[in-house]
Structure 1
Amino acid sequence: MSKTVVITGSTRGIGRGLAENFLKQGCRVVISATRQPAVDQVVSDLTASHGAGKVVGKACDISRHEDLQALWDFACAQFGAVDIWINNAGISLPRKPVTEQSAEELARITSINLTGVLYAANVVLAGMKAHGSGQFWVMEGFGSNGAAQPGMAAYGATKRAVNYLAKALRKDMAGSNVHVNVLSPGIVVTDLLIGDYDTASPEWEKARKIFNILGDKVETVTPWLVNGVLKAQKDGARVEWLTTGKAFRRFMIAGFNKRDLFADIA
C-alpha cells in the first residue's frame, strides 16, 4: 500500500529531491514551504511528471504552531492519514562569530531549526498516536554529533538539540506504534550549504576541497535516503548516507578521484 508523506521545506534542495523520489516509489506527497506560489509551482511540475492526485501542497511557516496544525489537517483531508512526516525545513546563517550576528538572526534560526521541530512534534505525534501509527523523521546536520567550527555556533547548537530531541521524543512515544527516526544526509550541495560562505574567500577554498571529497549532489543522495525511509520498520531507525567508514574510504582515494561539485560556482 502506498504511503502518504509530508515533507517540510520541499520546494528545493534535499526536500524536493526527497519528494520526487517518494513519488517514484508510488507514495502520495504533500509539498510545503513558506510561500504558496513556490509550493504551487512545484506541485504543478511534479504533477506533470508523476500524474494527478499524487501530490498536493500547502504553505507553512514552521515557526508558527497554527501553520503546522493547518498543514497536518490539510494532509489528512487530502489523503486520509499521514504515514511519514519529514522535518526537512531549516535555515543557516553566514559563518561569523555569534557576537557578530543579530538578535533577529539568532531568534529566526532557533525558531525554524528547533522550535519548529518541537511544534511539529506537538502536532504530528499527537495526530499519529490518535491514528495508531506513523513515522516522525528529524534531519541531522553539522553539529548533531557535537562537532564545532568557528561561525557555526547557532546552527550547530540547533542541530545538536534536535539530536537530543529525537531521543527524548522516543521516550514520550514508548509503547505506541509511532516511531521517531533520524535522517542524516551528509554533505549535500544545496543553497543552504553554499550560502554559509563568501565564495571569494580563502575559507571557501578550504571548505570546497573537503566538500569535493565528502560531498554529493541531491540527485545522488535522495534516492538512497528515500529507500532507507521506506524500509525502516523499527522505532529509532537511522538512515545515514555519509558514514564514518565511507568518509574514511573517500579520504583514502581522494588523490585519485578528482571531482568538482562546484564547477558552476564562481
Structure 2
Amino acid sequence: MFKNLKGKTVFITGASAGIGEACAQAFASAGCHIILTARRTKRIEELKAELDQQYPDIRTLAVTLDVTSKEAVDQVVTNLPADFQSVDILINNAGLVLGLTPLADYPVDQIDTMINTNVKGLIYCTQAFIPRMKQAPRGGHIVNVSSISGREVYPNGSVYCATKHAVDVITRTLRFELADSPIRVSSINPGLVETEFSKVRFEGDQQRADQVYAGMTPLTGSDIAELAVFITSRPAHVEIADTLILPHGQASATFVHRQK
C-alpha cells in the first residue's frame, strides 16, 4: 500500500517527541530514510539509535535544530550529507502552545515563542526546501501539521489559534503558488492528541494536563503519523489537500463528550 514511499527521504521537525517521533517511526517502517530534527539533541539521538536497530535497511540522521532561527534552518539544510541532500517529504511538525490566557494578559515571551515556532519556523523550513523540491526529479511533498484550532477559536486561545490559522493560510496559499510545480502541499488538523502538548501548555503541571483528556480516548501521535504516511503515499496526481482528524466524541475544539 505504501510502496510509493520506499527509499524516499523525510525531513521531520519537532521529532523528539509526540507526533514528530511517531512520524519518524511510521515513515521508517514504510522504508523511508529519516532526518530527525529538534532542539533536544539527546532525544533525537536516542530515537536515531532505536530506528537504526529496528530498520537496518534505511538511513537515519539526527540534527539539532531550532526552527525559529532562519540562519540555523538554512545552515542545516545546506549542509545535509550527500546521501540526505534529496529530501522528498517535509513534515512541518514543530509547534507548541503556551498558556491559556486572555489576550490582554498574555505574556510577551509566550506570544513571541508561539509565533516564532508555529509560524516563522514553518515558513523558514518551507522556504529552505521549495527550491530544492522544484528541481528534484521526484518533486516533493510538504505536510503541515496544524490543528483544529486553525479552523476555530475559543476563549483564552487567541495567540495559539492565530498561529494555526496562519498555518492554514500559508498552506492554502502555497497550493496556488506551487500548482505548476511537482510539489504537493497537505495539511493535517488534529483535535485532541495526547502528547506532551498539554503538559507544555500548563508549564509541566501533569495533573492539569491529564484533565484535558479525562473521560475520553484521545488520539495518539501514531494516529496522526499513519495519516501522514497515507497522504504522502498517494500517486503523484493525487493531492490530499486538507484533513481534520478528531477522537470520537470531540465535535469541536471545545466540545468533547466525556464518560463520567
TM-score, shorter chain, exceeding 0.5: yes
Return closer, same or farther for 1:142/1:223 CA change in 2, 3 Å cut-off. Answer: closer
CA distance in 1, matches of 2:7, 2:244: 23
Q: How does 1:173-252 map to 2 (within 5 A)?
A: 173-197=178-202, 205=211, 207-209=212-214, 212=216, 215-231=218-234, 233=236, 234-235=238-239, 237-242=241-246, 247=250
CA distance in 1, matches of 2:96, 2:83: 28
Runs of 4+ deviating beyond 6 Å: none
CA distance in 2, matches of 1:204, 1:20: 25
If asked which structure has higher relative contact order (CA below 8 Å, sep 6+), I would say 2
Q: Report the alpha carbon displacement of residue 171 of structure 1 after superposing the two structures with TM.
A: 1.6
Query: RMSD of aligned C-alpha atoms?
Result: 2.7
| Structure 2 letter corresponding to 1:81 | S
2:147 to 138, 141, 149: 141
1:60 aligns with 2:72: no
Q: Report the alpha carbon displacement of residue 100 of structure 1 after superposing the two structures with TM.
A: 2.4
Query: Residues 168-197 of structure 1: CA distance to partner in whole angstroms, max 9, x if unpaired?
Result: 112221211111111223321011134334
Q: Report the alpha carbon displacement of residue 75 of structure 1 after superposing the two structures with TM.
A: 4.1
Unpaired runs of 5+ in structure 2? Answer: 1-5, 252-256
Paired residues, number: 246
Matched with 1:108 is 113
Matched with 2:177 is 172
CA distance in 1, matches of 2:26, 2:16: 13
| Structure 2 letter corresponding to 1:218 | G
Q: Report the alpha carbon displacement of residue 166 of structure 1 after superposing the two structures with TM.
A: 0.6
Matched with 1:20 is 25
Matched with 1:29 is 34
Query: Residues 59-94 of structure 1: CA distance to partner in whole angstroms, max 9, x if unpaired?
Result: 111111122223323446232401000100001111
CA distance in 2, matches of 1:143, 1:166: 15
Matched with 1:264 is none
| Structure 2 letter corresponding to 1:138 | N
1:81 to 80, 86, 90: 86
| Structure 1 letter corresponding to 2:172 | K
Q: Report the alpha carbon displacement of residue 163 of structure 1 after superposing the two structures with TM.
A: 0.1
Query: Residues 102-137 of structure 1: CA distance to partner in whole angstroms, max 9, x if unpaired?
Result: 212211110100011111221111221122510111
CA distance in 2, matches of 1:200, 1:17: 24
TM-score, normalised relative to structure 1: 0.81
CA distance in 2, matches of 1:177, 1:220: 27
Unpaired runs of 5+ in structure 1? Answer: 249-253, 260-266
